[in-house]
Amino acid sequence: MSSQLFSPLQIKSITLKNRITISPMCQYSAQDGFANDWHLVHLGSRATGGAGLIIQEATAVSPEGRISPGDLGLWKDEQIEKMQQINQFIISQKSVPGIQLAHAGRKASAAAPWEGGRKLDDSQGGWNTVAPSAVAYHDNEKTPIALDKTGIEKVISDFKSSTKRAVQAGFQVLEIHAAHGYLLHQFLSPLSNFRTDTYGGSFENRIRLTLEVVDAVQSEWPENLPLFVRISATDWAEGGWNAEESVQLSKILKEKGVDLIDVSSGGLVSHQQIPLGPNYQVPFAESIKRETGIGTGAVGLITEATQAEEIIASGKADLVLFARESLRNPNLGLKFAEELQADIQWPKQYERAKIK
């Protein structure tokens, strides 16, 4: 039987040539949010490597929403041009360029991992962070400022303006980052949201900001282009956001017109207990898909062609996202096609290396 991993997938007006997706990965290599040649080569080489969809790293909707000073951003028009160039290259390789829009909330203002990843104070170029509640990720960190209504409205309008720029930059898929303990996830989880207003307490209140951000994004994002939301399906911690709430939220997002849930997990609290292993997050993607009918993406310790093929062929997810394996091997699409005996088109410049 022909490979399901290499079967095309149409979502709205976009057809992905296969189900191999490059997961968003911070490169901590931007200056003032601007993309540069590193991003062109990093993303471009994964396009020549055969992936169907390439999602650009968490791209901040405001300077204070960056995880690190090296994050990409789309908070001003000047940041559009280089991304547009990168996207044109990705499209020339018959791949699809996507973007993940993000706000890091209380996890902002940190050093790059290779500089220790610790919180930056003002003297190190850090900034004040914001969150649903004035509670830090680590006890020894500077306390974030709890967002008031005006601050919440700014976050929503920042997502809207960045979406407008993402359209201008030529992205064809947009993913809202509501996972990994960043701002939207901080609102979703009772372990970081202690608000007593309409944004805290009940499930309906905790999901409110995510839904308002989806509305704001949809007001700018073309109806015929795919919209994804990445969530952490569980906090892996007692009393936290959980799998049932993820199903409930996914149902609501589907009704709003979101096309796909990119299903990750964790990142909200330091005492999380994650049972790491191959496919460890796949059951969440599977249950969200089964119980709501929305498309899902599976991610996390998926490294083999046959492993990814099984996830798609058994209907557990519609896309498989690869992060670290794609850093080890940018030519993931070309290699997996060979392993699964799928006949795909190689870049003509590389054809002499194709094993026939």
Ligand X SMILES: Cc1cc2nc3c(=O)[nH]c(=O)nc-3n(C[C@H](O)[C@H](O)[C@H](O)COP(=O)(O)O)c2cc1C
Is the CB of residue 239 less than 8 Å from the CB of residue 27? no
User: Which residue among 182, 199, 280, 350 is the active-site one?
Assistant: 182
**Residue number, 75 or 346, with CB nearest to ligand X:** 75
**Residue number, 58 or 120, with CB nearest to ligand X:** 58
Which residue is associated with the tokens 């407008």? 164
**Residue number, 136 or 323, with CB nearest to ligand X:** 323
Residue 81's nearest CA partner among 44, 24, 33, 49 is 33
Is the CB of residue 52 less than 8 Å from the CB of residue 10? no
Chain-centroid distance, C-alpha 223? 20
Antiparallel, parallel or unpaired: β 260-264 and 130-131: unpaired
**Residue number, 36 or 143, with CB nearest to ligand X:** 36
**Residue number, 40 or 146, with CB nearest to ligand X:** 40
C-alpha 88/C-alpha 92 separation (Å) is 6
Tell me the closest approach of the beta carbon of residue 182 to ligand X, in angstroms.
8
Residue 159's nearest CA partner among 181, 177, 171 is 177
Residue 264's nearest CA partner among 180, 176, 158 is 180
The half-sphere exposure of 292 on its side-chain side, counting CA atoms within 13 A, is 29
DSSP state of 269: -
Tell me the closest approach of the beta carbon of residue 51 to ligand X, in angstroms.
12
Total H helices, total E strands in the chain: 11, 13
Is the CB of residue 209 less than 8 Å from the CB of residue 199? yes
Tell me the closest approach of the beta carbon of residue 75 to ligand X, in angstroms.
16
**Residue number, 322 or 346, with CB nearest to ligand X:** 322
Q: Which amino acid is at 353?
A: A
φ/ψ of 2, rounded to 5, equals -75, 155
C-alpha 8/C-alpha 17 separation (Å) is 4
Which tokens hold the place of 185?
């996830």
For the question of residue 182 being annotated catalytic, the response is yes
Residue whose CB is nearest to ligand X in the complex, by number:
323
Rg (CA), the chain: 19
Q: What is the binding site for ligand X (CB under 6 A)?
A: 23-26, 57-58, 100, 177, 179-180, 230, 264, 299-302, 322-325
Tell me the closest approach of the beta carbon of residue 149 to ligand X, in angstroms.
28
Antiparallel, parallel or unpaired: β 96-102 and 53-60: parallel
Q: Which amino acid is at 51?
A: A
Tell me the closest approach of the beta carbon of residue 311 to ligand X, in angstroms.
12
Handedness of CA 66, 70, 74, 77 (dihedral sign): positive
**Residue number, 125 or 278, with CB nearest to ligand X:** 278
Tell me the closest approach of the beta carbon of residue 112 to ligand X, in angstroms.
10
Tell me the closest approach of the beta carbon of residue 161 to ligand X, in angstroms.
20
The half-sphere exposure of 235 on its side-chain side, counting CA atoms within 13 A, is 21
Catalytic residues: 182
